[in-house]
Chains A and B, each alone.
Chain A
Amino acid sequence: MLEAALEGLSQILTPDSLGLMCLGVLLGSIVGFLPGIGGPSTLAIMLPFVMTMKDPFAAIALLVGFDAVGNTASAFTSVLISVPGSSGSQATVLDGYPLAKQGQAMRALSASFVASLVGGLIGPIVLLASLPFLRPLVLSFGSPEFFVLTLWGVTMVGVLSGNVPLKGLLAGILGIFISAVGADDKSGIERFTFDAAYLVEGIDLVIVALGIFAIPECIDLAARKTAVAETQELGHGFLEGAKDVFRHWWLTLRASAIGIWVGFLPGLGSSVADWFAYAHALQTEKNRENFGKGDIRGVIASEASNNSKEAGDYIPTLAFGIPGGTSTALILTALIAVGINPGPEMLTTQLSFTFAVIWTLTISNIIAVAICLLFIKPISRMCFMPFYSLVPLILVFVFIGAFASNRTSLDLVALLAFSLLGFMMRRHGWPRSPLVLGMVLGDKMENYLWLSYGRFGFEWLARPGVMILFALLLLSLCYPMLQDRMNRQTQAKLPPVNR
């Protein structure tokens, strides 16, 4: 095992591989930065070139380096202009942008990147540690277990609604309906498509996220007619942000763990890691009042998890040769082409490749964070740009991102529609995160329920995995209430404070 580890490392550190890794990291960071352009489309373009490479380690360095960092640089746009650069950084907007408005952009960004680094390092470590258990672990999650997991995710709608549960629930249900648009595999009919070809494949999450989150904030900026930062200082938050991550080290660890789980479970999709971690933070942290107004913990949770998820994605890939997501599917194709055989051999004869992947995940994260940290100062100055410079650029950025996602101008109409919805929701105090969460998990949850019932009748309820997960779900719902009650009791015991 040690030789494999060393061999993997030495092959990755050759000048060629390292150079390609840096290239991959650079490309991945740029792609992460730009909304609408995602990993899969870029990977599809890179694929023909990679497949002709002779050195499998070099291919790993380039592809895994590219894939692993997509969620790091995306924090820039999430924090600075509330435009989620990738689907993994949506939750970062909730607290990152308010921090930028308060003039603490530097702090938010450096916390993002350091949290990303920690998440990006923990991920491969856990991956390594779980190598012996990978197969049984992956095999113990079937449709019933996935149903409970997605249900758990949906209950987080409640947490994200704060004190307006009715509106939050309605937003969540609306999100579920949006996810139902399109061809429904389990019944063979199309739902809510009204005969439009555009809607058959469903509504794209990117468009919804851009419309619901980015545009309303942009409108706000334009209406206020000021710069993003309402104060004049960038803050000296650079070190502060880094310290924050270590101050809240337990949260960072938990968020990373959540990210790995989300990545590992192929049924959850990758856009929920940040939401789960964020909601978990909401449920478990004390003094929750500042979440959504600029609580650094929200940023930390979101960014740590979306980086550790990348390592999680590789677990089913390495254990079975089953890709954990669209990007890993493309990478798998390329790896097969250069002579690597994902599957059981990855843990035996091809262990050095496995280690190469793990090393690349680690090193590329370090490089990406280093690059981002270097650019923090110049890019943060965006907060001070007057609105008349920033607003048109943001609009161009968002519109072109929305269009480039699927190359259809109907996406722009959808963008406008969702912008209007997001605008109205914001105006009247409707929480928007539940809508996105409902959309991401809605049809999955429905599907898993049907598969579970179709296969097992009602017996699926009695499966041990299901019962454990249900218990955890209930616990997570009750925990905040228990915590509040304990807090109130302790406060009642304290002597009255003289003001």
Chain B
Amino acid sequence: MQPTAILWRAGIAAFIGVILSGTTAIAASAPLSFQGKTLTILISSSPGGGTDTAGRLISQFLPKYLPGNPITIVQNMPGGGGTIANNHFYANAKPDGLTLLQDSSSALGNFTRGGARIKYDPRKNRPIGSVARGGSVLMVRKEVKDGLTDPKSRKLVVGDTDGIRTWVAMTVWSAEFLDWNLRWLYGYKGSRELSLAIRQGEIDVWATQNAKLIGDLRKEGLVDLVYQQDEERRTEFPDVPTFNEFLGKKKPTGVAWDAYGAWANAEDVDKFIVAPPKTPESVVAALREAFNKLKTDEEFRAQANKFFGESWTLNPGDKTEALIKKITSIPKNAQDYLTQMRKKYGLPVGAPADS
């Protein structure tokens, strides 16, 4: 080609380039607004549970703080323990900030266990924030409490739904490192059946996050509260030591403690809300900012207190992101140790059998 022709083409290209970058600059600096748009929050469970409650609560207050105050609707998409909603969200949600997913830590558990059904990667979602409810408090029937450390008495029965609740980790580590005299009975349908069972003496040991259930059992003089799961004592239970405190010098280190964390720490993130992968940073920032403002909203706090008790915390987006990363990247030796422990005490190892 002749030199002048090349110069011309280059000049035109440069000119177009300048105009394009100018336009994107203008677009980027145009104020982000949700006005007139509809924000959809997809919930990965059926109505009524903790995830649903968190999602609906957020859906009521988040739009207040988003520029343009969009209308918000909530859609439930239950199934597969969160898998269906996650698969759908990952494949279909447009990264424009108008569709969010309210999820819970069980989806992370499903992802780490893996399998043919898992068609999503939660690490690629953009977390906006999370609501972490208070940690579980372990209760033992007063009547039989001495049996915990007495190898001659019958083994005390720990009751659970499916044996993989995060608080069960505390009991397993107590059996291993505190020589507690325990066995596990799982298959109860839910908290309602478990709270009845502990009253009847069918089970001796149980834990729950629900402050009311704990308070009632304590008031009836039935149970002693032994320790609690969080790193700091909950405001409702200031006299109950944390598990860390309780272990004291007997607390294991290294891979034994990593394995405990692998199991127990999933609850740190609890109920989190995310935007789809590839959502532009400006949108994510706006959503995160709005979410953070919930912390200081009086009405939100009042409602949340009613639903979750007083010990919930709101984690901002970046902290939520860090927590999710931590939960989904457990080193192999910790995983193996965990599996070993579960097998040793007759608990399900958490991986679904392929049938």
Contacts and interface: CB of A to CB of B under 8 A. Distances in A.
Whether chains A and B associate is yes
Interface string A49-65: 00110000000000000
B231 interface: no
A201 B44 CA distance: 13
Contact of A336 (B87, B196, B306): B306
A476 interface: no
Contacts of B203: 455
Contact of A266 (B157, B185, B196, B352): B196
A189 interface: yes
B115 interface: yes
Contacts of B157: 455
A200 B83 contact: yes
- The main secondary structure of chain A at its interface with chain B is helix
Contacts of B78: 201, 406-407
A447 B197 CA distance: 14
A321 B349 contact: no
A403 to B, nearest CB: 12
B177 interface: no
A139 B220 contact: no
B252 interface: no
A480 interface: no
Interface string A180-219: 0001011111111111111011000000000000000000
Given A190-B355, A321-B216, A455-B185, A195 B115 contact: yes
B112 interface: no
A36 to B, nearest CB: 13
A188 B160 CA distance: 12
A139 B201 CA distance: 10
B56 interface: yes
B326 interface: no
Interface in B300-339: 303, 306-307
A344 B117 contact: no
A392 interface: no
B348 A406 contact: no
Nearest to B187: A186
B199 interface: yes
A326 interface: yes
A261 B84 CA distance: 37
Nearest to B192: A322
B202 A143 contact: yes
A330 interface: yes
B125 to A, nearest CB: 18
A493 B196 CA distance: 54
A191 B197 CA distance: 26
Given A41-B47, A188-B164, A47 B196 contact: no
B129 interface: no
A407 B303 contact: no
A185 B56 CA distance: 28
B196 A322 contact: yes
Interface range for B: 35 or more
Given A198-B84, A201-B78, A337-B307, A142 B355 contact: no
B316 to A, nearest CB: 24
B75 A407 contact: yes
B199 A451 contact: no
A483 interface: no
B195 interface: yes
Interface in B207-237: 212-213, 216, 219-220
Interface in B273-316: 303, 306-307
B76 A41 contact: yes
A320 interface: yes
Given A197-B87, A197-B117, A326 B48 contact: yes
A344 B87 contact: no
B193 interface: yes
Interface in A401-425: 406-408
A261 to B, nearest CB: 16
Interface in A213-234: none
A192 to B, nearest CB: 6
B257 interface: no
A323 interface: yes
A450 to B, nearest CB: 6
A408 B347 CA distance: 33
Given A189-B353, A266-B196, A197 B48 contact: no
Given A138-B196, A201-B78, A407-B75, A40 B48 contact: yes
Nearest to A342: B212
Contacts of A337: 303, 306-307
B163 interface: yes
Contacts of A51: 303, 306
Contacts of A52: 303
A196 B117 contact: yes
Interface in B165-209: 185-189, 192-193, 195-197, 199-200, 202-203
B79 interface: yes
A333 interface: yes
The residue among A43, A191, A197 with the most chain B CB atoms within 10 A of its own CB is A197
A454 interface: yes
Contact of A183 (B84, B347, B352): B352
Contacts of A455: 157, 185, 202-203
Interface string B249-274: 00000000000000000000000000
Given A183-B81, A451-B185, A189 B352 contact: yes
B56 A44 contact: yes
B112 to A, nearest CB: 15
Nearest to B215: A343
A131 interface: no
B355 A48 contact: no
Contact of A344 (B83, B116, B220, B353): B220
B195 A189 contact: no
Contacts of A444: 189
Contact of A200 (B79, B196, B348): B79
Interface string B18-59: 000000000000000000000000000011100011001100
Contacts of B303: 48, 51-52, 337
A198 B185 contact: no
The residue among A40, A41, A198, A201 with the most chain B CB atoms within 10 A of its own CB is A201
A197 B83 contact: yes
A329 interface: yes
A408 B197 contact: no
B123 to A, nearest CB: 19
Nearest to A140: B200
Contacts of B80: 197-198, 200-201
Given A183-B352, A454-B185, A188 B83 contact: no
A45 B55 CA distance: 12
B68 interface: no
A406 B307 CA distance: 24
Contacts of A326: 48
11 contacts: A41-B76, A48-B60, A142-B197, A143-B202, A186-B187, A188-B347, A195-B115, A195-B116, A329-B192, A337-B306, A408-B84
Lowest 7 CB-CB distances: which A-B pairs, in order? A188-B348, A186-B187, A44-B47, A197-B80, A337-B306, A185-B162, A189-B353
Given A48-B57, A185-B161, 10 more contacts: A185-B163, A188-B348, A192-B355, A197-B79, A198-B84, A200-B79, A201-B80, A320-B216, A343-B216, A447-B188
